[in-house]
């Protein structure tokens, strides 16, 4: 698929120290692209530079170096972009309806503003809070209203920083459904999340960032298939490897990287064991992620 967004050599440093005289580089030549129509996850541990990348993409921060390409522009045009910042917050004394209609107008929407607000608020389960002040809204409601504001002008590119943050399991499921729905209509989505199961379920494209560097960029399928391991299950009185796990009496299972697994299969068969299963074991995103970033969890 043709990339809709291409990021080349993004470098960003931030001033540190009491007098802001020192600089710390937080993005090191970050390059990635998001194919048109993709549901892309932007993953990384805390402090990897995900939010900083989003700030550069939304022109809140100017990078030291690097370029952004979006349909011939060097930035994502505001009318094309729906942005949800991490833990969105709104004006305490205003109502969601007032803020959403102002934001929709700012995004260039002139007609049908009320109908669009009503539609997305209904879809995300916040229609009943549209006319109460933000001061009375819960964190989860704020998050959903944040999504409404990102979707209300129906942009072609959604940039979402932790869209599932602060939501209960039902809320997460609802948001996932809405994201699938907009993606099915052709909207390209790039979102960051720490909930890897959500990313695995929702996304077809992955970018993994660690310490300001891109560690992986490609399809979800390729990431989960890479470094594939095989499960070898056999019946024998004793296991043939120390790593073998007993499943039941006399039934053992070993997991090997694909390249070694075939050798092990031959050995097991030569020793007269009955092979019960020899099948690839699909990695979870969590395992692939842990391998890429080397330590910890996002």
Partner 1 sequence: MRAVWDIARLVLLEGLRNRLHHGILAFAALMLLAAVALASVTMGRTEMLVLDLGLGVLALFLQLVAVVFTIQIVQQEKENRTLYLLLTRLAQRWPYMLGKSLGVGGVLAVQAAGMGVLLFLLARFFGVFDALSYVQAVAATFLEAWIVAATALVFAQSSSFFLAVLFTIGVDVAGHFHSIIAHLGARAELALARWLAKLATWALPDLESVSVRDLAGIAPLAAADWWQLMAYAGLTVAAWTALAIAIFSRRNLA
Q: Compute CA distances 125 → 17, 155, 170, 172, whole Å.
A: 44, 20, 11, 12
**Segment near partner 1 (CB under 8 A); pick from 56-64, 180-188, 252-260, 290-298:** 56-64
Q: Is residue 83 near partner 1 by the rule CB under 8 A? A: yes
Please report which helix (H) or strand (E) contains residue 104, including its range: helix 96-106
**Segment near partner 1 (CB under 8 A); pick from 102-110, 122-130, 186-194, 203-211:** 102-110
Are 67 and 8 in contact by the 8 Å Cβ rule? The answer is yes
Residue 259, both tokens: 């390249």
Q: Is residue 25 near partner 1 by the rule CB under 8 A? A: no
Residue whose CB is less far from partner 1, 145 or 167:
145
For partner 1, which residue of 149, 165, 187, 193 counts as binding (CB under 8 A)? 149
Residue whose CB is less far from partner 1, 60 or 247:
60
**What's the order of all strands across the beta sheet hosting 213-219?**
81-84, 157-161, 188-192, 39-43, 205-210, 213-219
Residue whose CB is less far from partner 1, 69 or 228:
69
Strands 65-70 and 188-192: unpaired
Site track 116-135 with partner 1 (rule: CB under 8 A), x = hit: -----------------x--
Neighbours of 286 (CB within 10 A): 14
For partner 1, which residue of 2, 62, 185, 249 counts as binding (CB under 8 A)? 62
CB 220 → partner 1: shortest distance, Å?
27
Please report which helix (H) or strand (E) contains residue 118, including its range: helix 113-123
Q: Is residue 85 near partner 1 by the rule CB under 8 A? A: yes
State residue 224 phi and psi, 5-degree precision. Answer: -75, -25
Residue whose CB is less far from partner 1, 14 or 176:
14
The residue count for binding partner 1 (CB under 8 A) is 31
Residue whose CB is less far from partner 1, 103 or 273:
103
Nearest Cα residue to 268 out of 242, 232, 243: 232
| Chain Cα centroid distance, residue 226 | 19
Are 191 and 41 in contact by the 8 Å Cβ rule? The answer is yes
Residue whose CB is less far from partner 1, 10 or 107:
107
Are 43 and 185 in contact by the 8 Å Cβ rule? The answer is no
Q: Is residue 154 near partner 1 by the rule CB under 8 A? A: no
Q: Is residue 23 near partner 1 by the rule CB under 8 A? A: no
Q: Is residue 90 near partner 1 by the rule CB under 8 A? A: yes
Residue whose CB is less far from partner 1, 86 or 204:
86
Residue whose CB is less far from partner 1, 91 or 246:
91
Q: Is residue 55 near partner 1 by the rule CB under 8 A? A: yes
Q: How far apart are CA 126 and CA 119, in angstroms?
A: 10
Length of the chain equals 298
For partner 1, which residue of 31, 68, 99, 224 counts as binding (CB under 8 A)? 99
What secondary structure letter does DSSP report for 284?
P
Q: Which residues bind partner 1 (CB under 8 A)?
A: 14, 52, 55, 58-62, 77-78, 81, 83, 85-94, 98-99, 102-103, 105-107, 133, 149
């Amino acid at each position: 698929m043709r990339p809709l967004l291409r990021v080349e050599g993004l470098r960003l440093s931030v001033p540190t120290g009491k007098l802001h005289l020192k600089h710390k580089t937080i993005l090191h030549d970050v390059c990635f692209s998001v194919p048109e129509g993709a549901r892309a996850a932007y993953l990384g541990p805390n402090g990897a530079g995900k939010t900083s990348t989003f700030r550069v993409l939304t022109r809140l921060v100017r990078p030291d170096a690097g370029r952004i390409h979006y349909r011939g522009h060097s930035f994502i045009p505001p009318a094309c972009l729906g942005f949800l910042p991490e833990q969105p917050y709104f004006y305490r004394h205003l109502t969601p309806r007032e803020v959403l209609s102002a934001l929709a107008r700012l995004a260039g929407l002139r007609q049908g503003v009320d109908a669009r607000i009503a539609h997305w608020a209904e879809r995300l389960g916040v229609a009943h809070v549209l006319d109460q002040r933000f001061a009375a809204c819960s964190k989860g409601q704020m998050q959903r209203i944040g999504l409404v504001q990102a979707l209300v002008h129906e942009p072609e590119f959604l940039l979402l920083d932790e869209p599932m943050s602060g939501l209960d399991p039902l809320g997460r499921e609802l948001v996932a459904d809405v994201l699938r729905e907009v993606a099915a209509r052709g909207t390209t989505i790039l979102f960051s999340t720490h909930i890897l199961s959500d990313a695995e379920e929702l996304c077809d494209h992955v970018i993994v960032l660690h310490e300001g560097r891109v560690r992986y960029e490609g399809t979800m399928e390729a990431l989960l298939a890479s470094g594939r391991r095989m499960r070898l299950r056999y019946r024998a009185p004793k296991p043939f490897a120390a790593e073998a796990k007993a499943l039941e009496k006399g039934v053992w299972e070993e997991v090997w990287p694909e390249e070694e697994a075939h050798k092990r299969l031959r050995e097991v068969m030569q020793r007269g064991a009955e092979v019960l299963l020899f099948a690839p074991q699909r990695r979870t995103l969590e395992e692939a992620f842990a391998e890429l970033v080397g330590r910890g969890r996002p």
